[in-house]
Chains A and B, each alone.
Chain A
Amino acid sequence: MRFEAPETVEAAVSLMAGEPGEARALAGGTDLLVQLKSGRVAPDLIVDLKRIPSMTAITQEDGGFRIGGAVPAAEMLEHDALTAAWPGICEAAYLVGSTQVMGRASLAGNLCTSSPAADTVPAMVAAGAMVRIVGPDGARDVACEDVPSGVQKNALKKGEVVDSIFLPARPARASDAYLRFIPRTEMDIAVVGCGISITRAADDTIAEAKVALGAVAITVQVVADAAKAIIGTRLDDAALDALAAACSAACKPINDKRGTIEFRTDVAGVLARRAAKIAYDRAGDAA
């Protein structure tokens, strides 16, 4: 096993692509170190991305934000402009784990671990986040929902790493929210997660919406019917009922140690209803 800490993206890609055995990128390491310790993975090469300046930076770009692949959640929460523009994504980042875990864990890592229950993924999907993947063939931008392809499977090819995640510019009167259900108040994996992004029209009806659910299927679910249910409404009770019903209908969950099928299906609707209200209220407040 080797450990490398390159200082450029090119060097990182070259190391990852050039390794004949298994190579693993290290961002926050909050998943990788657990896997190493348990013996679930034994890579031949670990490439630490945190010495690459662009990987650890949050930059404004075209009115949006580009978040480096190794930026820890804690730094996102300390970035005032980012938390103002994307409160839902930031609250999802806040929920990823303890204060200690937030000091390390990144959006890109949460995405690449490809757990169905990843907290930030439904929030990023709802936000329309674009993922920049770099590899031996150059860079490509992929919609966030197209990255996870199964449990612990994703669209990254040999030698590729996530360079950054781009959150696009927001129109006025737009905001987002993320809620998850866990049995405790902290330290659990989401039993259900729901990210919603909403843009209000001048008449306070919902002009645009995107709804995504986590932990109710093998990958994040974009629920188009849920968005349709609230677009054009002022989030009246009928719209919320339709939203909840669409979310529950979109669930394809399993029974496991964290929750039952019935529980996840019910709670998906409950969270969607609550998250929509928060996002709608925030959109009303957003400049």
Chain B
Amino acid sequence: MSQLQVSTTVNGDPVEFLCEPDESLMDVLRDRLGLTGTKEGCGSGDCGACSVTVDGRLVCSCLVLGAEAQGREIGTIEGMAKGEQLHTLQKKFLEHAALQCGICTPGILVAAEALLKENPDPTETEVRYWLAGNLCRCTGYDKIIRAVMDAATEMRGA
């Protein structure tokens, strides 16, 4: 299987990599680019731990081929904080103790950021359905939902 050369942008950085034709973007990010903040929970699009954005659209990176990244803009958890400045969602997750083990946290943060870009004032039900593809086994979701709602409130005020 010959490898493909792909040029893309990850969190604003120009990036080039080689990958196999059937290699997922998740594997490229984790294994080739060292961006292990994107997590693998299932590899089949059922858990959301590998959530990233491609050209601003929220996707599971395990369901995207690395080769498809050519010329696209990829956003991962590593790009969420700006330098030392945490994103409001990140701060609210810490304040609300919205994580226990933390393995689902990067995916949920990426997904929640995409939600708040599209809908700055979501209802609890809207948050719950938007995040239905992000499994969390520790928290029962309660504190996650509260953190997202609180972040939305703060971001609307800011």
- List the B side residues contacting A38 at CB < 8 Å: 44
- List the B side residues contacting A74 at CB < 8 Å: 57
Answer yes or no: A260 CB below 8 A from chain B CBs: no
Contact A98 B44 (CB under 8 A): no
Interface residues on B, range: 20 to 34
Q: Which of B4, B45, B54 contacts A98 (CB 8 A)?
A: B45
Answer yes or no: B67 CB below 8 A from chain A CBs: yes
Report which residue of B1, B59, B64, B115 has the largest number of chain A beta carbons within 10 angstroms of its beta carbon. Answer: B59
Answer yes or no: B65 CB below 8 A from chain A CBs: yes
Answer yes or no: B124 CB below 8 A from chain A CBs: no
Contact B46 A187 (CB under 8 A): yes
Q: Which of A28, A48, A72, A187 contacts B132 (CB 8 A)?
A: A187
Contact B130 A99 (CB under 8 A): yes
- Stretch of A1-9, A158-166, A214-222, A276-284 that contacts chain B: A1-9
Contact B64 A104 (CB under 8 A): yes
Answer yes or no: B88 CB below 8 A from chain A CBs: no
Q: Which of A29, A46, A187 contacts B64 (CB 8 A)?
A: A29
- Stretch of B8-16, B19-27, B143-151 that contacts chain A: B19-27
Which residues of A does B touch, CB under 8 Å? Answer: 1-3, 5, 26, 28-30, 33-34, 36-38, 46, 48, 50, 72, 74, 97-101, 103-104, 185-187
Which residues of B does A touch, CB under 8 Å? Answer: 1-2, 4, 20-22, 24, 43-46, 48, 51, 54, 57-60, 62-65, 67-68, 70, 111, 114-115, 129-134
Listed by A's residue number, 26 A-B pairs whose Cβ atoms lie within 8 Å are A1-B1, A1-B20, A3-B21, A3-B22, A3-B67, A29-B64, A33-B24, A33-B45, A34-B63, A37-B62, A46-B21, A46-B22, A72-B57, A98-B134, A99-B114, A99-B115, A100-B51, A100-B58, A100-B63, A101-B60, A101-B133, A104-B59, A185-B129, A185-B132, A186-B132, A187-B46
